[in-house]
Amino acid sequence: MCGIVGYTGHQPAQKIVIESLKKLEYRGYDSSGIATKEDKLVICKKEGPIANMESILPKSSSNLAIAHTRWATHGVPSDTNAHPHTDGDNSVAVVHNGTIDNYLAIRENLEKEGYNFKSESDSEVLPILISKYYAGDLVEALNKTLADIQGIFTIAVIHENHPDEIVAVRHETPLIIGVGNSENFIASDIYAVLKYTQQIVYPEDNQIVRVTPESIELFDFDLKSIDYEVETVEKYTEVAEKGGYEHFMLKEIFEQPKALQDSLTELLVDSPLERLGLNWKIGSISIVACGTSYHAGLVGKYVIEQLTAIPVSVGYSSEFRYAAPVQGVGGLLSSRPLVVLISQSGETADTLAAARSAKQQGCHTIAICNVPGSRITREVDGVIITKSGQEVGVAATKTFLTQMQALYALGVHLAFNSGSLDHPQLKLWESEIRKIPSKITQVLNNSEAIKALVPHFVKAKSAFFIGRNINYPLAMEGALKLKEISYIHAEGYPAGELKHGPLALLSKETPVLAIAMQDHTYSKLVSNIEEVSARSAPVITLCQKGDQQIPKISDSYFELPEIDPVLSPFTVAVFLQLLSYYVAHELGTEIDKPRNLAKSVTVE
């Protein structure tokens, strides 16, 4: 969601925090702001992208600053609702990620005490409470404030009486401390500070942090000092730049062959099962995720069940806690259930809550995640890290493919451990997985042919994506991509379900994209295409190279390189990503930062 950065040190802080904030703009971009310590606190904030705020930013030589990009949860985007928020005297400045659930009651009580509010934001109660409790020690004031508030949050505070001190705390949302040489950093994401340091401290929930240029102190709820470890971030974690591409999304689509290759060592050379200690009988598997990661989970279900015969359920993280207990808990099965949690950021609030629920139920938990050191990697029993590098575009691309690859590898090694695959079959699977990057490269090299399909979609008010078997989840993912970045309504359906209602929506203005791979469902899919054509809807079909039938029954088609149908989701995904990108580009939408969306969803 929102992004937070802060700096205290020996250099001019303004330039550092603005540069760092731009690394996080993809997390929230409806407004931004900065607070620096001059003779007094100086606040500058503005609705819109960071460039809007920069254009009115006064020069500063301050060595202390906090800054923020906002993704609205309370109050419309505006200068007033932007962060930082201050108390009435401008002695305290606060930036905040998350939500204060009981802010209305707090605000009502403070107004009765004579305090005035300027914004619609829940965050404004924070500086007023901190100012109310301040008696010379900012840590104590924040600690007393924590006793009053409920919700999830990362909070960073500066005070006019403390010219080199930032005080911060987290509760179920991310906060990291970057350790420098006579300078230190705070941020809600490691990517904000990697240019300056790879030495990172990860505070736990409700640990209050006091940061000065020369010191980092952590305190528990009783304000007792806590020891901490400084960790070094792995070198492959790099801050992304556009590298000549018009958008981050396009760059990240073209980075997918490398992302898959970089992840192969983690998945194949170092067996995930050996590393995770999955050496017991698994009776059931639950895959839990949100959005695009959920679609990766659905693909994983087909693969794992086909390879192992282990029943796999896939659920949305936001619903997992409210469902019945996972099968196998409480003596239902003698084996221990496995819950696989997928999160690009490792900070997705709903997926974190699902992980905690699974642990409480006695399940074994593993996470598939792209950010080492993120919250979820610290709360599960085992981790598979996808080495995609930073993904800036809000619409997930390369992380989707590496998540699928991780699930394929997991399924293959579960099958080998259970005896469903012998060693030659294991090596054959691994060999085929290694060929995927080159197959994707062939799709990327044929991007001009994908552009030719754009006219079918740019004037549409709605579109359908259909597929069967393992490519039904890809139909859902293709529809999601089109919705996210082009704002065209789209739905992904199992092809056989159109006749149960959605056919009523088809017309000459409703394009249907069909995914027709030559597996055991191919003939049924062909029949579904005929049903669509009979309703006069334009049919654009994705087929395998050399298909003789599809060109005869489609208005347009695109041939994918030859690949085993069970591995086709990888090439299909790249086609769908490029198609959505080119449609959105033709429509002139904000591709990297779609309206109303944010990259890392840290509120439930």
Catalytic residues: 2, 599
Whole-angstrom distance, CA of residue 594 vs CA of residue 283: 41
Whole-angstrom distance, CA of residue 173 vs CA of residue 187: 11
Integer angstrom CA distances of residue 202 from 229, 391, 538: 8, 21, 53
Q: HSE on the CB side for 410, CA within 13 Å?
A: 36
Whole-angstrom distance, CA of residue 393 vs CA of residue 406: 21
Strands (E), 334-482: 338-343, 364-369, 382-385, 462-467
Of residues 177, 179, 181, the one with CA closest to residue 167:
177
Q: Could you tell me how many helices (H) and strands (E) the chain has, helices first?
A: 20, 25
Beta carbons within 8 Å of 346's beta carbon, 6+ residues apart: 367, 369, 370, 371, 373, 374, 375, 376, 377
Beta carbons within 8 Å of 158's beta carbon, 6+ residues apart: 6, 35, 37, 41, 64, 65, 66, 92, 93, 165, 166, 167
**Number of neighbours of residue 479 by Cβ within 10 angstroms:** 24
Strands (E), 397-532: 462-467, 489-494, 512-516
Q: Which two tokens stand for residue 3?
A: 């992004």
Strands (E), 227-268: 231-232
Phi, psi of 470 (to 5 degrees): -70, -15
513 strand-pairing partners: 465, 540
Of residues 185, 181, 159, the one with CA closest to residue 7:
185
Whole-angstrom distance, CA of residue 377 vs CA of residue 293: 16
Sign of torsion over alpha carbons 112, 118, 120, 123: negative
Of residues 395, 7, 399, the one with CA closest to residue 192:
7
Q: Specify the DSSP element, H or E, that contains 8.
A: strand 3-8
What 3 state SS string does 278-313 have? CCCCCCCEEEEECHHHHHHHHHHHHHHHHHHCCCEE
Of residues 406, 345, 400, the one with CA closest to residue 374:
345
Whole-angstrom distance, CA of residue 361 vs CA of residue 366: 14
| Sheet containing 556-560: order of strands | 489-494, 462-467, 512-516, 539-544, 556-560
- Calculate the CA 424 to chain-centre distance: 37
Of residues 54, 68, 51, the one with CA closest to residue 3:
68
Helices (H), 501-594: 522-534, 550-553, 568-587
Q: Which two tokens stand for residue 401?
A: 């493919």
Beta carbons within 8 Å of 470's beta carbon, 6+ residues apart: 299, 302, 303, 519, 565, 566, 568, 569
